[in-house]
Amino acid sequence: MSDWQDIWEQDGARQMWSIPDMQVVELAAKWKKSGVMHRVLDIGCGIGRHVHHLAKHGFDVYGSDHSESAIRICQQWLQSQTLSAEVWCGEMEEIPYPHATFDACVAFNSIYHGTYCRLKGIMKILHDKLRNGGECLVTLPSRENRMYGRGECLGPHTYLSPGMYDKLFSHDGERGVPHHFCSREEVERLFAGFHIQTLRHEELRLATVRGEAGVVWLPIPKAFFWRVVATRKDQNA
Ligand SMILES: C[S@@+](CC[C@H](N)C(=O)[O-])C[C@H]1O[C@@H](n2cnc3c(N)ncnc32)[C@H](O)[C@@H]1O
């Protein structure tokens, strides 16, 4: 059973991961306005904050996650709002749709939970499932992240988390979950089949609701991630 199975059973974790990331909100608005982005895939969708947001804004949404709890919570959330999306439980490589199915993809804090080799494989799959000109937002931990180099080393720049994200997840804080940390060069290599539109390096922010203050975005100190927005290169051009 995945560690994420336990993580998503905790109220604290669900709360921190229930408000959509601002960059996803901005991208969704841009995609909507373009009139050509309809079918969106969310890999490692968790409890579905982005699935939910995208479905609410009229996209045809598909989401996968290997945590059964996450998928169950995601489905209940969608049903409670009479929204629909295709969500399934599976490993991130299992995208049961043909080549070039999707106009866009979100892979937010998900596809780096393995070695570089696995990450490279999933980037290949993402490239295959996006149509030419399709766009993606992918986040990847950087080597300036405070978790870099901590915990058991599984391979070059990949570590089993010793549980340092205690503020993000209420008990063990991703203890035992593998993370691969990327350099800028590695990011550029992973996106060789794409045109990188923007490449940001910043601390992760997660939202919480604080009484009258409403939604407050909390930066997680030294939780540095790359945020890549990229367009799939037209292979026939
Ligand atoms: C940090 S959470 C992010 C969830 C969501 N993308 C979001 O932004 O709210 C990472 C998610 O990736 C999922 N995940 C990790 N490894 C996975 C794998 N090998 N296959 C499928 N999902 C995976 C976890 O179950 C978890 O729900």
DSSP state of 82: T
Report the residue among 66, 111, 126, 140 best suited for mutation to probe ligand 1: largest number of ligand atoms under 8 A from its CB: 66
Report the residue among 110, 118, 138 best suited for mutation to probe ligand 1: largest number of ligand atoms under 8 A from its CB: 110
Global pTM exceeds 0.85: yes
For 5-45, the pLDDT digits (tens) are 666 776 667 777 889 999 999 999 999 999 999 999 999 99
What's the rounded Cα separation, in Å, for the pair 63 and 94?
11
For 48-57, the pLDDT digits (tens) are 999 999 999 9
Return the pLDDT at 119. Answer: 98
Ligand 1 mean position, distance from CA 236 (Å): 33
Ligand 1 mean position, distance from CA 44 (Å): 4
Ligand 1 pocket by Cβ (under 6 Å):
2, 4, 17, 44-46, 49, 65-67, 70, 91-92, 108-110, 113
For 98-113, the pLDDT digits (tens) are 999 999 999 999 999 9
- Place 215 in a pLDDT band, splitting at 50, 70 and 90: confident
CB atoms within 10 A of CB 124: 13
Report the residue among 61, 108, 113, 160 best suited for mutation to probe ligand 1: largest number of ligand atoms under 8 A from its CB: 113
What's the rounded Cα separation, in Å, for the pair 170 and 50?
21
Residue with CA closest to ligand 1 atom 13: 44
Domains of the chain: 4-231 (3.40.50.150)
For 170-182, the pLDDT digits (tens) are 445 577 789 999 9
